[in-house]
Amino acid sequence: MKIPLSWLQSFAPFPSDVALLTAMLDDLGLVVEGSERVGEGLEEVVCARVLSIEPIEGADKIRKITVDAGGEPLVIVCGAWNFEEGDVVPLAPVGAVLPGGFAIAKRKMRGVSSHGMLCSAKELGVGDDQGGLLVLSDLVGSDPGVKLMELLGITADVVFDLSAEGNRPDAWSVLGVAKDLAARLSLEVTMPSFGVAAASGNATSTSASAANAVPSQCSGLTVTAAHGVVVGASPPLIAQRLALSGMRPINNVVDASNYVMLELGQPTHAYDLDSLAGPALGVRLAHPGETLVTLDGVERTLGLAGRGLGQLPEDLVIVDGDDAVVGIAGVMGGGATEIHEETSALLLEAACFDAMAIARTSKKLGLRSEASNRFERGVDPELAGAATKRFFEILSLTCPELTVDEPSLTAAGARAPRTLIRATPARFASLLGVDLDGETIGTLLGPLGFLVEHDGEFLDITVPTNRPDIRSMPLGIADVAEEIVRTYGYARLERRFPSWPAPGGLSQSQRLRRHLRAVLVGLGLDEVWTPTLVPETDAHALHLDEPLVTLANPLAEQERALRSSLLPGMLTALRYNADRRQDEARFFEIGTAFTHPDVASAPRSAKAGAGGGAATALPQESTHLVVTLRDNRDDATTAVALWWALHEALKLEEAELVQPIDGSLVPANLLAGHHPTRSALIRSRTTGVNYGLVGEVDAPVLEAFGVERGSRVGLLVLDVTLLEDSGLVPRRTLRATPVSRYPSSDIDLAFTLQNVTPAGRLKEALVAAAGDLCTSVTLFDVYRGQGLPEDRRSLAYSLRFEAQDRTLTDDEVGALRAACIAAAEQVGAVLR
Amino acid sequence: MGEVIGSVDIDHLVLAAATAAQGATSRTVLEAVEAEFLGKRSELAGAHRSLGSMDEQARKSAGAVLNAARVQIQQAIEECRVGVEAAERSALLEADRLDLTEVVSSSIASPVRRGHQHVISQTQAELEDVFIGMGFTVADGPEVETDWFNFEALNIPPAHPARGMWDTFYLELGEPETVVLRTHTSPVQIHLMEDAVANDTLPIHAVMPGRCFRRDTPDARHLHTFHQIEGLVIDRGMTFVDLAGVIQTFTTAYFGADISSRLRPAFFPFTEPSAEYEITCTICHGEGCRTCSQTGWIELGGCGMVDPAVLHAVGIDPEEYSGFAFGFGIDRCAQMRHQIADMRALVENDLRFVEQF
Ligand SMILES: [Zn+2]
């Protein structure tokens, strides 16, 4: 919202110190997004009459112009061609500094001395036209030597660009801002007057009528007829203020309406009376499918249901005496009844519509206007009369013959009772933390229009009608508290650090995630952040054919789905780096994977819809840890080694790696993209819960995401949501085992085992046979090839034995060795 | 004997092609079969060429026979192709097979190198730690929410213009515009308060970090996916002055002793009174620079006293309990601390960026 300082100052004698006002407005919550000085540098510019135009020898772009600027004739060299001898144009004499800091000096061009510069509108900052000079000949009073600012009625000004918050409908006007500032500065606000009044017309013959068929959505419709209108340009002051406020001046009628809206915050609309069926207006709901061509020339269809927030098929319309639609209430008027050059009589509509009704229609039609913006925030229901009066006062400036039918006709609607807030000063203190007595509160609120009365220990506070944002009791206490502290000044508040006896801390699952990050970073991995929103094709490339969770309104087609797996994002990250000659990377990410409620193992359900009355099934959100390893020679074995390191760090009870993978045991998205013969399920031996996958990414998947052919990518996926639950994935005991004081004994055993039997099976047999005295069983060599049958490989294990209370004898160790060999034979292993 | 065209027995040819295709054990062999029976030098092609010497009637009928034969041969080859490809894939997989229980961990060569935590998760942990030190617990919440949790319980009713303050991604679930990607971490407040009321565990002193989404075209300063941290205190006797104290304590603890905070009136539907939370510009330390538009202050987030309508929605008595909430961007803190010029670097995962943190 742009507001010229001069307009503000017409309400109260505000200081002109821009920095001071900026700080004050900011502290009042009227954030100054910027401020701009206008009219600066035009002080020296004068009107000059062109006396003669002569060519300059050897120059075809510039000419020698002699002008009369009120003194001796001056010679100017000029490159513009859009004027003739006798025209009046603006001259910036030598010594002038134009807007933007351009200093005019005496210059010599092609041997001709130039004593100033003739200017275009753009160069002067008074318009956008830079096609030629600003020709002033037609303006009354454009005599040589007259100051341009005087001629155009321009005064040096400062324009503030303010942003008022959504809960401050009152601040969306010059008057509202003036009231806030005046309260802070203890100044009186007075309504400025242009000192003219329109004559009263005949109240009986042509008096307007108004009808209100929707009193619940229109608290009042005020209609006024006027004759003797002459459509033309607005006075310079009005036009200039509108322009500085960012509205293009159109004609005196439309400008008066806009001026009143900017100044008071009340939108009005003027209809060409002769285009209406008589001096009558009404407001009603549009019939389904009814149409209107609005001012912008677009045909709008009304009364239909829209999507989402615009679901209700209700639109407020303004109709004439024949019940024909002539405007969309609070949004935009119709083209057919627009004010035009020949308009001599008009009908003015000033109304107050329900904020939600206007918001609904505006959203449904995708049509926003200055008027709808204001109605959506809430317009003072008592403003229509004052706005009507002000409109005709401004119109009278250009229409001396104007007669206004009085009184205006108002069709009243349902008006909410005045909001009353009743609370003790202590109640406000309990919210604000600062003790203010009733009198102080009265002083703070009074200038904003609140009426504060004392009733014993209570304050009875009547809310002004321009604050529809302030709710009734009891919620309104907080709203009034904000007004109190706003005028008191946030900056003046004390700061107190509260304390409470409860300790802070992370949840168990947060500690786990931090631990995972720390361990993986320690193991040399880099953490990445990959997108939640992905193309639907990602899932197809992973052969995930379950339904996806998709967006109704994606920004781009490749961001339509919520990821069901983190893997595509991570492969894309590998590829991104490979494309930049950074082939070797080990990445991990901990993030959310989504599963459609139709196929979720644990779907969520939550309150949804208006009032939270309906239950809606929501996607399952699982936290996944995904690791992709693509450093030199990385493959499934690296992933397995990494997994056991992580397993150790997490102090898990022993996991087993299960091959081949039975896809029915875990959610499909946990297994997405794995290599079928080089991956294993991770399963808790204790509970049998499968909580992850370790191995490699399948080659066709790598290819689908552009990771170079022939390279292997090690893969580890953990369902962190399962891992968080130590009931499902148990941790090792915290109890320490004493270290034996006696030497340990090692035996190494090498077996051949059929390729089809997992080495893990042999290890299990060895662990079982070795018993409690065995502290470790470690695979240290695998061999295939010469000397071995094709279908067998050699596996060499080292077993360490020790006892807490003695040194083991050779016999004891020998017996254990024999037991281990026998157990190995049970699974088909043969000692080498 | 079937029909003979240009000395080619068509039925015999089709049968021979099918047999050859079925006998193929690889894609290469199958491609050879295809060339032999359908290629330019195939008998079928030869038979086609012989059509030229026939009269029109004969040419028509023989042509139809040849075309039918071509289709049959093609079908036979295609049928086999699926099988051959599956067989090849399974042979590849078989050759690739690895027993993951026979991995000798000690033989894995791995470079000695420390990795890097993502700058955002590092920043999040640092922020959490500051708040933990101030007595806050840390809570999580889901990224997909219903309109009730994301909007209505936060005093943003359906069709309320305030919903326009957030550009929302809606999901194709439930009724239109009822399931959303959360636009802020504030719905976690509602979950915490509802749980505390249900389990009778008030008061609450918690911060809630997490990923949020707004439907806004990404540029150097904003991503549509970002991270926020939000704080909520619901206790007896909490006031605006306590909020200002918490904000100030956090500001100096995280940004440094020379950085201060200030509050300015603002509007959020879920707090009243509300404030914008600004800190001393960390670039110029308050002197005024381009980053802070010469004001010496930069906007960090929003805060305020929890609106009584929110307390009402979750069943907390505003006469007994009061509270405040505050929130700001984690990514923004990282951006300020590390002077990250283009936020899009955060999701590119370029090693040259990742390795800086
Ligand atoms: Zn700065």
Q: Are strands A792-801 and B4-5 parallel, antiparallel or unpaired?
A: unpaired
Cα–Cα distance for residue pair A344/A227, rounded to 1 Å: 6
Chain B, window 156-175: residues with a beta carbon less than 8 angstroms from a chain A beta carbon: 157-163, 165, 169-175
The dihedral formed by the CA atoms of A326, A331, A332 and A333, expressed in degrees to the nearest 10: 30
**Would you call B179 and A597 a contact, using CB atoms and an 8 Å cutoff?**
no
Considering the domain architecture, whether residues B9 and B79 belong to the same structural domain is answered as yes
Task: Report residues of chain A scoring pLDDT below 50.
Answer: 204
Considering the domain architecture, whether residues B30 and B164 belong to the same structural domain is answered as no
Chain B, window 69-128: residues with a beta carbon less than 8 angstroms from a chain A beta carbon: 92-94, 96-106, 108-118, 120-121, 125, 128
Considering the domain architecture, whether residues B201 and B282 belong to the same structural domain is answered as yes
Which chain A residue has its CA at the smallest distance from B317's CA? A474
Centroid of ligand 1 to alpha carbon of B250 (angstroms): 20
Considering the domain architecture, whether residues B221 and B297 belong to the same structural domain is answered as yes
Of B96, B121, B217, the CB nearest to A678: B96
What is the CB-side half-sphere exposure of residue B357 using CA atoms within 13 A?
Answer: 25
Chain B, window 241-300: residues with a beta carbon less than 8 angstroms from a chain A beta carbon: 241-242, 244-249, 262-267, 272-276
Q: How many domains does chain B have?
A: 2
ipTM entry:
0.88
Q: Domain with B309 in it: what CATH number?
A: 3.30.930.10
Considering the domain architecture, whether residues B30 and B130 belong to the same structural domain is answered as no
**Would you call B174 and A608 a contact, using CB atoms and an 8 Å cutoff?**
yes
Predicted confidence at residue A371, as pLDDT, reads: 93
Which chain B residue has its CA at the smallest distance from A432's CA? B240
User: What are the tokens at B337?
Assistant: 């601390």
CB < 8 Å to A356, chain B: 159-160
| Test mutation, A184, A353, A422, A526, chain B, max B CBs within 10 A | A526
User: What are the tokens at A635?
Assistant: 């493959």
**Would you call A166 and B181 a contact, using CB atoms and an 8 Å cutoff?**
no
CB < 8 Å to B347, chain A: 529-531
Q: A82 Cβ partners below 8 Å, 6+ apart?
A: A131, A132, A133, A135
Predicted confidence at residue B1, as pLDDT, reads: 44
Which chain B residue has its CA at the smallest distance from A473's CA? B308
Tell me the shortest Cα–Cα distance from A561 to chain B, in angstroms: 9
Predicted confidence at residue A609, as pLDDT, reads: 87
**Would you call A562 and B272 a contact, using CB atoms and an 8 Å cutoff?**
no
Which chain A residue has its CA at the smallest distance from B106's CA? A780
Chain B, window 200-239: residues with a beta carbon less than 8 angstroms from a chain A beta carbon: 203, 205, 211, 213, 215, 217, 224-225, 233, 235, 237-239
Which chain B residue has its CA at the smallest distance from A757's CA? B99
Predicted confidence at residue A207, as pLDDT, reads: 64
CB-based contact (8 Å) between B318 and chain A?
yes
In a domain, B109, yes or no: no
Tell me the shortest Cα–Cα distance from A767 to chain B, in angstroms: 14
Considering the domain architecture, whether residues B137 and B259 belong to the same structural domain is answered as yes
b vs e for A774-806, b when ≥16 Cβ sit within 10 Å of the residue's Cβ? Answer: beebebeebeeeeeeeeebbbbbbebebbeeee
Predicted confidence at residue B54, as pLDDT, reads: 80
Tell me the shortest Cα–Cα distance from A495 to chain B, in angstroms: 4
Higher pLDDT, B267 or A206: B267
Considering the domain architecture, whether residues B88 and B146 belong to the same structural domain is answered as no
In a domain, B148, yes or no: yes
Cα–Cα distance for residue pair B144/B154, rounded to 1 Å: 16
Centroid of ligand 1 to alpha carbon of A181 (angstroms): 27
**Would you call B146 and A432 a contact, using CB atoms and an 8 Å cutoff?**
no
SS3 label, residue A453: strand
Considering the domain architecture, whether residues B167 and B32 belong to the same structural domain is answered as no
Cα–Cα distance for residue pair A636/B211, rounded to 1 Å: 32
In a domain, B114, yes or no: no
Tell me the per-residue pLDDT of B136-165, one tens digit each, with 9 for 90 and over.
999 999 999 999 999 999 999 876 766 766
Beta bridge partners, A674, equal: A697
Task: Quote the domain boundaries for residue B8.
Answer: 4-96
What DSSP assignment string belongs to B39-55? STTSHHHHHHHHGGGS-
In a domain, B59, yes or no: yes
Of A497, A594, A641, the CB nearest to B103: A641
CB < 8 Å to A24, chain B: none
Tell me the per-residue pLDDT of B306-354, one tens digit each, with 9 for 90 and over.
999 999 999 999 999 999 999 999 999 999 899 999 999 999 999 999 9
In a domain, B78, yes or no: yes
In a domain, B112, yes or no: no
Considering the domain architecture, whether residues B149 and B9 belong to the same structural domain is answered as no
Cα–Cα distance for residue pair B34/B39, rounded to 1 Å: 7
What DSSP assignment string belongs to A692-716? EEEEEB-HHHHHHTT--TT---EEE
Predicted confidence at residue B159, as pLDDT, reads: 66
In a domain, B107, yes or no: no
Tell me the per-residue pLDDT of A469-519, one tens digit each, with 9 for 90 and over.
899 999 999 999 999 999 999 989 999 999 999 999 999 999 999 999 999
CB-based contact (8 Å) between B7 and chain A?
no
SS3 label, residue A592: strand
Q: A413 Cβ partners below 8 Å, 6+ apart?
A: A212, A214, A215, A216, A217, A218, A219, A220, A221, A352
CB < 8 Å to B136, chain A: 504
Considering the domain architecture, whether residues B170 and B26 belong to the same structural domain is answered as no
Centroid of ligand 1 to alpha carbon of B286 (angstroms): 6
Question: Within 10 A of A767 (CB to CB), how many other CB atoms are there?
Answer: 17
Considering the domain architecture, whether residues B170 and B59 belong to the same structural domain is answered as no
Considering the domain architecture, whether residues B196 and B327 belong to the same structural domain is answered as yes
In a domain, B102, yes or no: no
Angle subtended by helix axes A174-185 and A252-264, to nearest 10: 30
Last residue of a domain, one of B62, B96, B130: B96
b vs e for A223-250, b when ≥16 Cβ sit within 10 Å of the residue's Cβ? Answer: bbbbbbbebeebeebbbbbbbbbebebb
Which chain A residue has its CA at the smallest distance from B244's CA? A495
Centroid of ligand 1 to alpha carbon of B134 (angstroms): 28
Tell me the shortest Cα–Cα distance from A320 to chain B, in angstroms: 29
Q: Average pLDDT, stretch B222-239?
A: 95
